[in-house]
Amino acid sequence: MMLTCLANCVRGCRGRVLLPVRTAKSFSTRLAEVGRLEAPKESGAYETGQLFLHRVFGYRGLILFPWLARVYDRDLNTKKEKLGDAAENLNNNNQQQQGREVKGRTHTYYQVLIDARDCPYIRAQTEAVTFLGHQDSARSLYAIPGLDYVAHEDILPYTASENSTQPPLQHELFDKFLSPVPNRDPPFGAQQTLIAWQRKNHPWLELSDVHKETTEGVRVTVIPFFMGCRTTQSSNVYWWRYCIRLENLGPLPVQLRERHWRIFSLSGTLETVRGRGVVGQEPLLSAALPAFQYSSHVSLQAPSGHMWGTFRMERSDGYMFDCRIPPFSLESKHESEAPTNQPPTPATNQ
């Protein structure tokens, strides 16, 4: 039973959170209660230690700390353009020109831990956070397992069952980052190790811009991250990672067949990349499994650039179309610069 079906299970259980448990002898599955749902917050941010279910991917998670991101939604911009055109026809003003500007809106995202028990069942890479080593001369690429970035509206908060024999979350960093706090809601607080880890790793964890666009009912969300710079005797190579989420909002299944990228570097080069699928897969987005998320990397021999492109999609009725990937900038920053989007420091358990 896929965990992406959890939202449907939860709605029919009067607030109880039920998860599938596999029986070792028969390899069958049964539902076990792990907690009780809370009312989602319409405003304000969730605190460090809050347990939640991911509204789309269905995994169990725990919030470490929030980020404030600028969300550039080209769908909202398109609606404004239409309104601007209508206003211009009525009173001959300049609304159309203003409507073409994509303006960012501040929105809350969260750095979270993913429960290791759920990782095999979700359609999202669970090692999406990568960075360049800063202690060795080779500056190797490292991955942090079981971390994700989750939008505020995708959080379904819950409290763990008091009589549960299972730990509230299984992750190798859970005991290092958090500890129980009596008479606190949520009942886990940040240890000093989490605060120190947050400050040390801020450069490659920072989430600042989010880009969204919908084509033919398929929404693409892109979040770019600067990872650092590798310096050689002849040149500097700048690295970024980008997380992409595809979500089918339409009634018919659709499958990703090809990718087509355009990568522009400040040095003046324009690269075209084509290929089958993404990260070796051609994900099918259906009503039961509407979303897929993955991460990839790009390097430039310049401190900034831009990326944009399309995904070639095939609908179940045979209709093919190009799904637009919203343009996004690749910006570098010096490692010694003060962070521009420092997340709030998690409250300690003291």
**Over the stretch 120-147, which tens digit does the pLDDT of each residue have?**
888 887 666 777 765 545 557 777 889 9
pLDDT tops 90 at residue 222 = yes
Which positions ≥6 away from 302 have C-beta within 8 Å? 238, 265, 266, 267
Banded model confidence at residue 111, pLDDT cuts 50, 70, 90: very high
Mean pLDDT of the chain: 82
Distance CA 207, CA 210 (A): 8
pLDDT tops 50 at residue 96 = no
Distance CA 161, CA 147 (A): 24
pLDDT tops 50 at residue 99 = no
DSSP 57: T
How far CA 266 is from CA of 253, 309, 326, 332, in Å, comes to 39, 18, 19, 11
Banded model confidence at residue 344, pLDDT cuts 50, 70, 90: low
Determine which of 36-40, 96-100, 226-230, 267-271 has the lowest per-residue pLDDT on average. 96-100
pLDDT at 78: 64
pLDDT at 296: 92
pLDDT at 345: 67
Mean pLDDT of 283-312: 95
pLDDT tops 90 at residue 306 = yes
Distance CA 31, CA 134 (A): 45
pLDDT at 152: 97
Banded model confidence at residue 93, pLDDT cuts 50, 70, 90: very low
Helices (H), the chain: 6-11, 74-91, 95-99, 174-177, 192-200, 202-205
Select from 165, 174, 159 the least CA-distant residue to 115.
174
pTM of the model: 0.83
Give the CB-side neighbour count of residue 213, counting CA atoms within 13 A. Answer: 18
pLDDT at 16: 65
Helix or strand or coil: residue 80? helix
pLDDT tops 70 at residue 15 = no
